[in-house]
């Protein structure tokens, strides 16, 4: 890359509040550059000013959350955000980890890359979803890369790669269409090859699941298998009945019928309405989310994965309000509300839980699944075995929800060890 181009790019990153150190190879178009975050203080001052100048809507006319997050609950969280919350702690947490950026197919890919001291560590690429981020996985990095230090065994070590999806966080924003899960999966394969890995595994939940499934379907050299915590197991007949708002297909077991009822209820109550809106009009949704930090948070908290969290506590399952605000503040500071929402538009018409839409029967690599009880639905093993011809691991755990690594990091780590043990 010519010096003038590098200078211009670094100037742009400086304006946005990101910085990089010296590149490994300044002559290579495939260079991997160390990356540090430093958001300029004026941007943080502007955020606090916008929060404290919020024009609030009137109170909801119901006693539950059927019209959206309740006004009093959001005001309590936002009051803390505009007074006591400290982004610098999140920034320091991320900067304590080795971060990098590399350009693939014209888009900068930001990623955390932590290598184990163990020479036999298994490389693992983990993909977040929406409205999550790389922050979902931070608490799992230590136990995954250095299990002996956390009471585990050295032979369970992983090298960990955690990229920000294009359009999310500190990755670049695609300026053309076509960046769907299949495209992102191809980029992930290029990334792992660029990092020098000839064998590795992949993990994903939420939108990380269809990306990981696409990766497995493409079967790039070196990929050994995948783990999912939001598997696409909904059979075609069930998906059709749900879309039509009809009754459950005949012949379902009690467990399968319960899952059908749960999914049907979510649809009828509008709990997945955010998905439809962002799939249809991400730009329209993004205008409000980009201009109002409170609008951004009020929208993101509608994701059913947050439904049972207690934003004011640090209970065992709850990430707590600071970690929740770290994630939402990351979206605000990187101005990625709209670019992230476009992933839903790119995936429009291909549901993330439908086995037919995700072409799961074309995946011949080993697939491991962990079902967390408070996810948006509990995948039945019977459906999972129909969906994935090479299902090698299926386990229902007793706690945790949609953002499994975030909510239950230790349990998530244990599942990674068990799921990939046979592939080492």
Which residues are marked as active site?
206, 344, 402
Sign of the alpha-carbon torsion through 278, 284, 288, 293:
positive
- Closest to 275 (Cα-Cα) out of 378, 352, 383: 352
* Residue 152 burial class via C-beta count within 10 angstroms: exposed 0-12, middle 13-18, buried 19 and up: middle
Contact by Cβ (8 Å): 181, 103: no
Residues ≥6 apart with Cβ < 8 Å to 328: 131, 293, 296, 297, 300
CA distances from residue 87 to 20, 53, 79, 346 in whole angstroms, order as listed: 19, 19, 15, 31
Residues ≥6 apart with Cβ < 8 Å to 76: 312
How far apart CA 165 and CA 204 sit, in angstroms, is 12
How far apart CA 152 and CA 137 sit, in angstroms, is 18
Contact by Cβ (8 Å): 188, 112: no
Beta bridge partners of 228: 204, 369
Supply 319's token pair. 């990430």
Backbone phi, psi, residue 114, to 5°:
-115, 120
Residues ≥6 apart with Cβ < 8 Å to 37: 17, 18, 19, 91, 94, 95, 99, 170
Strands of 158-163's sheet, edge to edge? 18-20, 32-37, 99-104, 107-114, 158-163, 122-127, 200-204, 223-228, 367-371, 391-396
Contact by Cβ (8 Å): 203, 126: yes
């Amino acid at each position: 890359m010519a010096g003038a181009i590098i200078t211009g790019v670094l100037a742009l990153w400086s304006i946005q509040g990101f910085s990089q150190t010296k590149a490994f190879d300044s002559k290579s178009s495939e260079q991997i550059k160390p990356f540090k975050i430093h958001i300029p203080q004026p941007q943080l001052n502007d955020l606090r000013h916008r929060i404290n100048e919020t024009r609030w809507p009137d109170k909801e006319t119901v006693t539950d959350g059927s019209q959206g997050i309740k006004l009093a609950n959001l005001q309590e969280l936002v009051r803390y955000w505009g007074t006591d919350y400290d982004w610098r702690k999140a920034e320091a947490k991320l900067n304590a980890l080795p971060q990098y950026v590399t350009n693939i197919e014209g888009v900068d890919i930001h990623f955390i890359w932590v290598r184990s001291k163990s020479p036999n560590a298994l490389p693992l690429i983990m993909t977040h979803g929406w409205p999550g981020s790389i922050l979902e996985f931070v608490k799992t990095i230590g136990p995954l890369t250095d299990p002996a230090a956390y009471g585990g065994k050295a032979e369970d070590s992983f090298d960990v790669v955690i990229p920000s999806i294009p359009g999310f966080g500190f990755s670049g924003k695609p300026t053309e269409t076509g960046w769907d899960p299949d495209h992102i999966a191809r980029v992930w394969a290029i990334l792992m090859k660029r990092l020098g890995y000839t064998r590795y595994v992949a993990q994903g939940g939420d939108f990380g699941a269809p990306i990981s499934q696409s990766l497995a379907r493409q079967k790039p050299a070196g990929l050994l298998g995948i783990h999912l915590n939001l598997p696409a197991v909904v059979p075609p007949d069930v998906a059709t009945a749900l879309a039509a708002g009809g009754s459950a297909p005949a012949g379902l077991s009690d467990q399968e019928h319960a899952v059908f009822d749960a999914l049907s209820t979510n649809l009828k109550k509008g709990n997945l309405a955010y998905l439809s809106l962002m799939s249809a009009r991400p730009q329209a949704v993004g205008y409000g989310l980009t201009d109002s930090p409170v609008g951004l948070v009020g929208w993101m908290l509608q994701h059913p994965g947050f439904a049972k969290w207690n934003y004011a506590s640090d209970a065992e399952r709850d990430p707590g309000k600071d970690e929740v605000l770290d994630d939402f503040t990351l979206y605000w500071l990187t101005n990625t509300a709209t670019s992230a929402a476009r992933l839903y538009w790119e995936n429009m018409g291909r549901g993330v839980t439908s086995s037919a839409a995700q072409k799961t029967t074309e995946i011949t690599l080993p697939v491991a699944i962990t079902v967390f009880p408070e996810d948006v639905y509990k995948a039945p093993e019977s459906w999972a075995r129909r969906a994935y011809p090479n299902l090698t691991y299926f386990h229902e755990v007793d706690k945790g929800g949609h953002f499994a690594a975030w909510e239950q990091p230790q349990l998530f780590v244990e599942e990674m060890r068990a799921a990939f043990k046979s592939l080492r």
